Every structure is written in C-alpha cells, then in structure tokens.
Amino acid sequence: MFKVVYQFSNLRRFSTEALKNTQRVKNNFWNSRTNTKNFFTELEKKIGIQNADGWYKVTSSVLIENGGRSILYHHGSLFNALKWIYPHIQWDPSKFERISFNFFSDPKNQKLFLEEAAKKLDLKNITDWKNITTSQIMKIKGAKSLLHYYGGSLKKALISVYPEIVWTFSLRGQWEQIENQKLFLDRLAEDLSLKSDEDWEKVSIKTLKEKGGSRLLQFYDGSLRKALKAIYPSVNWKWKERTPNKYWNNIQNQRNFLEKYAQENGIQKMEDWYRVTVAELKNKGGDGILAHYGNSLQKMLIRVYPEQKWLIWMFQQVPKGFWDSEENCREFLEWTSLQLNIDSKNVDNWYKVSKMDIERLGGSGMIHRYGSLALVLEKLFPNFPWDFSKFDLQNKNQDYLLRSVLQITTK
C-alpha cells in the first residue's frame, strides 16, 4: 500500500470556487455520476489523496467543510458515494476513519460490514460467528455504530442480517413467541431437507438440540411431537407407535409383531416371507425390530422362527458375500438337484440345466459370481471329468470362453 500524504493543516482552509458553490447547484445536479466524480477528483488533488486507500482517512466532516454536504445528503454516506463513483473498487467500510450513523440504516451495508469483518476475524463460514464475542468485534472500526442499531447485541445483529441461518444461540424471550418457534422449525426443516410432514419422524431429539432447539423443547416437556402439534395445529399428525426401551429384546414381542404383519399383508405360509423386502417391513413400523438384527430380514426370521428351514437364496436379497462361500453354493446346488429331479448318481443331467433354470430358483447371484453353471460345477466338483461341450447350448459358447480365460489367469 502506498503511503498517503495528507495536507490536513491546510484542509480546513481549502475552498476553491468550485467547492464553495457545491451547495448551490441545480436540482438533480448530483444525480449525475460525472458531476459527482469531477468533484471528488478535484478534492483528491487538493487534499493529497494518491490512491483509493487514501479515502479511508477522510471523514464526513471533511467532505462537508469542503462543500460536499449535498453529496452526503444524496448518498447517505461517503462510503455509498465512493461505491457509486468507483464501482470497480471493493470498498471496505470498516477501514474508514469514521462511519456515519446513517450508513448502517441500509441492511445491505450491515451485511457488507459483517462480511468484511468476517475476513478480518478469519471466519470460514457464516455460522462461525457464534464463536465471536461482542468485545472481539468491537475492536473492528465501525462495529460500535452497527451494534448501536441492535442495542449493543451482536446476536441480534446476526439474526437480523442472516435470517436464513438457524443460529444455535437464542435471545431472551425469543422462544416464548410461537412465531419464532415456527420460524425455527421451518428453517430446520429446510436445513435437514425434510420434504413432508412425515419426515419429522426421522428427526431425533439429539439432532434438534445440536441445531439449537434445546430451549424450544423446554416449553413442551422435551417432546418434539408435542412441539410440532402445538406449532402446526392444522397438520393431521399421524405418529408411528413407539416402543419402550429394550422392547425388541423380547423374542415374543418380535413374534407378535411379525404375526400381526403377516395377518395384515396376506402372508399365509412361511414361504411368503421370501417376497417381503426390508423397505416394505420398515414402512409398516418394522424399523425397531430390523435394527435389532442389523437390518437383516434373514437373520430376523431365522431367530424368530428357528423351526423353519430357511433358504437364503429365496429372499429378495441375499447377504453380502453369500455366494463367495463354496458351502453356500454347494447347498444351493444340492437343493436345486431335488427341484429339477437330477439323480445324484447320474450327474450328466446337469448338462441339461440352463442358466434360466438356475436364475428361476434364486441362483442368479452365484452365476454372476462365477460366470456360468459349468464353471461353478467344475469349481465345486473338480474330481468329475466335466465335458463343457455337453452343457446347455444356450450357454455353451460363453462357458468355453470363460473356462479359457480362467485357465489363462490361473497359469
């Protein structure tokens, strides 16, 4: 930054004819950017301003004493006038020697000031303001004038300037007003991307407190449901039934829930459970019981109905890594041989089995894992001299190719 030389000793005595007459000009004279810029250009020369930073040392009184009263009246502040004349310069309001009180009557100037102050305080996000005290910001020139508008409260200033932010601090008496409670929850819903009223079921008390709603909960006995019902009385809230702690630890409670689900959803025999998905069970209130089993439908049914022989491959989705187990693949093939009437003494019958047969019986994941039925059989029963040319013609070419690739890779 260049050093600015000021002739302050001569500043009060300076008064050219042009500056003397600036208070006696035609109407709308200062509406012209050219007229205003000419005035500032001449003033720059007379008081020794050598670059843009030099204007930070000029006060409103200096401008008035040199004939610029009408300019201040027209623009409200020296800052606004400079910003209008030199829009290409990024002016920092906190660097001016003095900031007029009227400057902060414009909300845009308040926001601009806080943005520049955030840079000085090295704040990375707007929400970092919650860690700044009033005494810290008061060290920045101009902060006193800004906070004067808010009774000296930085919190009130931030809430006013950034209404879109859900601030974690609260003001005395803020939560007593139902409008403020609703405003907080509206902003929270937007912040959490809640698309419908039902989505509030996903919000925990912990999340609400982390977002600054602890004081709000005190008005409703710590219950979010009570708060929502009072704040949004027009909504027809349909809450899912909540279970007591450790409710799902009881195997009988689990069985009762599944039997009720079966009655309400047309499940007449155990095999009907194979067509049920995790999402469907959750939509019917099964979040709790599924969470008890890590969201595994198979683990849940095996535990609740141990008397039933469950075939894991028959479910809509098998556990991750299921087909990596040769034991699981062998069990599937043994079961498949019974379904397709394949005589264990005549393994040649496997040559007639198609890929479609395997997929229909739930083995598509196994085929995807190994590439073809031929390669699965060769892997699990290596002692039998399999003839790839005899396998189902639909898959013969693919099997030959995969076998060749496998042999090359092994070598």
Q: How many CB atoms lie within 10 A of CB 141?
A: 19
CA distances from 41 to 34, 103, 104, 136, 379 (A): 10, 23, 26, 37, 90
Mean pLDDT over 241-260 rounds to: 86
- Among 298, 302, 303, CA closest to 315: 298
- pTM of the complete model beyond 0.75: no
Domain end among 31, 61, 91: 91
Tell me, yes or no, whether 26 and 64 share the same domain.
Answer: yes
Residue 120 is assigned to a structural domain of this protein: yes
Number of domains in the chain: 5
Q: What percent of the chain shows pLDDT beyond 90?
A: 18
Express each pLDDT in 201-230 by its tens digit.
Answer: 888 888 888 877 888 888 888 888 899 999
Q: Indicate whether 101 belongs to any domain.
A: no
pLDDT in tens, 298-313: 999 999 999 999 999 9
Does residue 103 belong to any structural domain of this protein? Answer: no
Give CA–CA dist 195/202, Å, rounded. Answer: 11
**Alpha-carbon Rg of the chain, whole angstroms?**
39
pLDDT at 396 over 60: no
Q: Specify if 100 maps to a domain.
A: no
Alpha helices in 162-235 (DSSP H): 178-191, 205-210, 214-218, 224-231
Give the pLDDT score at 174.
66
How far, in Å, CA of 109 to CA of 79, rounded?
9
Q: For residue range 184-202, what is the model confidence (pLDDT) as tens digits?
A: 888 888 888 888 888 888 8
Within a domain: residue 98?
no
| Domain presence at residue 346 | yes
Residues 389-404 have a mean pLDDT of 53
Read off φ and ψ for residue 269, nearest 5 degrees. Answer: -140, 165
Does residue 7 register a pLDDT over 70? Answer: no
Q: Are residues 226 and 297 in the same domain?
A: no
19 within a domain of the structure (yes/no) = yes
Domain assignment of residue 54, given as a range: 8-91
Residue 167 reports pLDDT greater than 80? no
Distance of CA 288 to the CA centre of its chain: 25
User: Considering the domain boundaries, does residue 252 fall inside one?
Assistant: yes
Whole-number Å distance between alpha carbons of 154 and 200: 32
- Are 307 and 330 contained in the same domain? no
Summarize pLDDT for 28-87 with one digit per residue, the tens: 787 888 888 888 888 888 888 888 888 878 877 787 888 878 887 777 778 878 888 888
